[in-house]
Chain A
Amino acid sequence: AQTVTQSQPEMSVQEAETVTLSCTYDTSESDYYLFWYKQPPSRQMILVIRQEAYKQQNATENRFSVNFQKAAKSFSLKISDSQLGDAAMYFCAYRSARAGGATNKLIFGTGTLLAVQP
């Protein structure tokens, strides 16, 4: 079974600085997807960025980028130029690339609470 581990329960960053959130996962599959979701106090789950395992190039979305190390099974999220609105719980998630049914479910880590200091 696949597992996702986020070893940092809480992180803090100064506004305008850069922070990296860690995520490791365990799987025997070779094709899968990885996601970072943001959950602000409003509780809404917002997709931040996603990575396809067969792509070597790291995904980027504006100030958000990932460092995907497939061999090490590591998927960290880097937030550049941090803003107050980035404060939230961040979840790393895994999904199998096999289509259909329960294999399409997201497997979540336990989350990292990010605080942004003004």
Chain B
Amino acid sequence: NAGVTQTPKFRVLKTGQSMTLLCAQDMNHEYMYWYRQDPGMGLRLIHYSVGEGTTAKGEVPDGYNVSRLKKQNFLLGLESAAPSQTSVYFCASSRSGGRNQPQHFGDGTRLSIL
């Protein structure tokens, strides 16, 4: 069972470059999330989606864009990468926003911006 798959696993970018992180889930989940994890700060929500074609801002959305064109995919884009975006990015999904629906996480993407 694949669960939540993130690609790539590692990437190094130069300041100003753009890139897209892909998250794919095969569990038919409605909700998907992008978090970033920084040392000493736990995980923080960047953007989320409650269904195909919908996205919304989370706690730290600046500098990122997302798209949910297909239910199984949630893309996180960096239009002009900045060193402050060096982080580990986690995608998660859940069946719905209903009671007691756990979030399933991918393995993370380590992104370094030089």
- Asked if B99 contacts A99 (CB within 8 A), the reply is yes
| Residues of B participating in the A interface, judged by any CB pair closer than 8 Å | 31, 33, 35, 40-45, 48, 50, 56, 58-59, 88, 90, 92, 94, 96-105, 107-108, 110
- Asked if B43 contacts A50 (CB within 8 A), the reply is no
Q: Which of A44, A47, A104 contacts B31 (CB 8 A)?
A: A104
- Asked if B99 contacts A97 (CB within 8 A), the reply is yes
- The segment from A12-20, A62-70, A106-114 that touches chain B is A106-114
Q: Which of A50, A52, A101 contacts B97 (CB 8 A)?
A: A101
- Specify the chain B residue showing the minimal Cβ separation from A111: B42
**A-B contact count, CB below 8 Å?**
64
- Asked if B105 contacts A105 (CB within 8 A), the reply is no
Given A45-B90, A99-B98, the answer on whether A108 and B43 have CB atoms closer than 8 Å is yes
Q: Which of A17-32 contact B (CB under 8 A)?
A: none
Residue A75 interfacial (CB < 8 Å): no
Residue A79 interfacial (CB < 8 Å): no
CB<8 Å pairs between A and B, sample of 16: A35-B102, A37-B105, A43-B107, A44-B107, A45-B108, A47-B102, A91-B43, A99-B97, A102-B45, A102-B48, A102-B56, A103-B97, A105-B58, A108-B42, A110-B40, A111-B42
- Asked if A102 contacts B58 (CB within 8 A), the reply is yes
- Asked if B50 contacts A106 (CB within 8 A), the reply is no
| Residues of A participating in the B interface, judged by any CB pair closer than 8 Å | 4, 33, 35, 37, 42-47, 50, 52, 91, 97, 99-106, 108-111
A17 to chain B, nearest CB (A): 27
- Specify the chain B residue showing the minimal Cβ separation from A98: B97
- Specify the chain B residue showing the minimal Cβ separation from A97: B99
Instruction: Pick from A35, A103, A104, A110 the residue with the most CB of B within 10 Å.
Output: A104
